[in-house]
């Protein structure tokens, strides 16, 4: 993986990132793929990313049918399945400088291997201290991306909440809140939520039809949509069979929109436009008019 994306992902955790001398994101292979359970070594990360823009047509069809987020969160859940197929793992309790996300020790082939899975809006990052394991997982991802049946079987082994896939007529935020209620927000968080909610309501009062920009395709966005007052979301211009989705307004001031292209969460920016932050910055939608 290119050093640039790794730097962007690492920047989210306020850690530095220096590309490998050969220009790719992987460190030179170590002499051994695994270490003994008691071995305490400086473990070198070898990583690759899975990005939503690389989803194949068959993968997009599966994600759409299951109402999945389809980006980093969904692929991170699938990566966990691929790791679990290889053995048991446990969370690493000690500090892990240079490692981000869910860092675990995997019992694999008679030894232990450190693995980590992290995600952002559009990408999932898999890292391990074994180049062979990284190569195997990367090969599995390519196979799943090419074979819808195998992808669905892998998704069937995952928790649907981790994949952010929804049954019909369900809100992911509502389901997750019911499963694991959030603690009361701090006064500062409460004020920020109130401000975000007020800003979103003001935006929706003025504009309910939005179009994706040129960068939207990387997040499964194409054409545009209208958020109707009855909770329906009507998409247009995306090349798919016309079908209504749905949307809900959360207490955090974000709208959750389920469209044929997948699940999206948008906030209202200071400039009065819907958008969301991602690994490379921010994607914003444009106010537009739905074609008749």
Specify whether domain 191-287 bears CATH 2.40.128.
yes
Maximum average pLDDT range among 41-55, 90-104, 140-154, 222-236: 140-154
Q: Name the region of 52 (left: φ>0; alpha: ψ -120 to 50; beta: rest).
A: alpha
Residues 146-155 have pLDDT tens digits of 999 999 999 9
Strands 89-91 and 102-108: antiparallel
Tell me what the mean pLDDT of segment 99-112 comes to: 90
| CA 226/CA 247 separation, integer angstroms | 10
For residue 222, give the 3-state DSSP assignment. Answer: coil
What secondary structure does DSSP assign to 157-186, as a single string?
TS-HHHHTB--TT--HHHHHHHHSPPPPPP
Domain boundaries, the chain: 3-36+43-163, 191-287
Measured between alpha carbons, how far is residue 24 from residues 27, 48, 60, 140, 231 in Å? 8, 10, 28, 21, 46
| CA 190/CA 196 separation, integer angstroms | 10
Q: Report the DSSP beta bridge partners of residue 264.
A: 257
Alpha carbon 286 to its chain's center: 23
Residues 8-43 have pLDDT tens digits of 333 333 333 333 333 334 433 333 344 443 343 447
pLDDT at position 190 over 60: yes
For residue 151, give the 3-state DSSP assignment. Answer: helix
């Amino acid at each position: 993986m290119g050093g640039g994306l790794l730097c962007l992902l690492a920047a989210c955790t306020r850690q530095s990132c220096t590309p490998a001398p050969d220009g790719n994101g992987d460190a030179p292979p170590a002499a051994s793929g695994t270490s003994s359970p008691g071995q305490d070594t400086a473990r070198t990360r070898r990583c690759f990313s899975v990005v939503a823009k690389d989803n194949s047509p068959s993968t997009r069809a599966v994600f759409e049918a299951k109402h999945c987020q389809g980006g980093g969160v969904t692929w991170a859940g699938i990566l966990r399945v691929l790791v679990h197929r290889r053995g048991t793992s446990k969370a690493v309790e000690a500090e892990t400088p240079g490692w981000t996300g869910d860092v675990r020790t995997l019992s694999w082939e008679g030894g232990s291997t450190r693995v980590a899975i992290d995600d952002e809006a559009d990408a999932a990052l898999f890292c391990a201290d074994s180049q062979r394991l990284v190569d195997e997982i990367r090969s599995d991802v390519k196979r799943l991306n090419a074979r819808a049946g195998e992808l669905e079987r892998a998704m069937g082994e995952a928790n649907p909440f981790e994949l952010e896939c929804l049954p019909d007529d369900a809100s992911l935020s509502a389901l997750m809140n019911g499963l694991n209620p959030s603690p009361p927000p701090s006064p500062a968080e409460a004020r920020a939520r109130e401000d975000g909610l007020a800003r979103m309501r003001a935006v929706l009062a003025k504009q309910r039809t939005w179009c994706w920009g040129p960068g939207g395709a990387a997040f499964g966005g194409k054409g545009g949509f209208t958020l109707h007052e009855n909770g329906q979301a009507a998409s247009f211009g995306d090349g798919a069979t016309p079908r209504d989705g749905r949307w809900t307004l959360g207490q955090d001031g974000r709208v959750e929109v389920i469209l044929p292209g997948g699940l999206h969460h948008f906030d209202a920016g200071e400039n009065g436009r819907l958008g969301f932050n991602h690994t490379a910055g921010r994607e914003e939608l444009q106010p537009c008019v739905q074609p008749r």
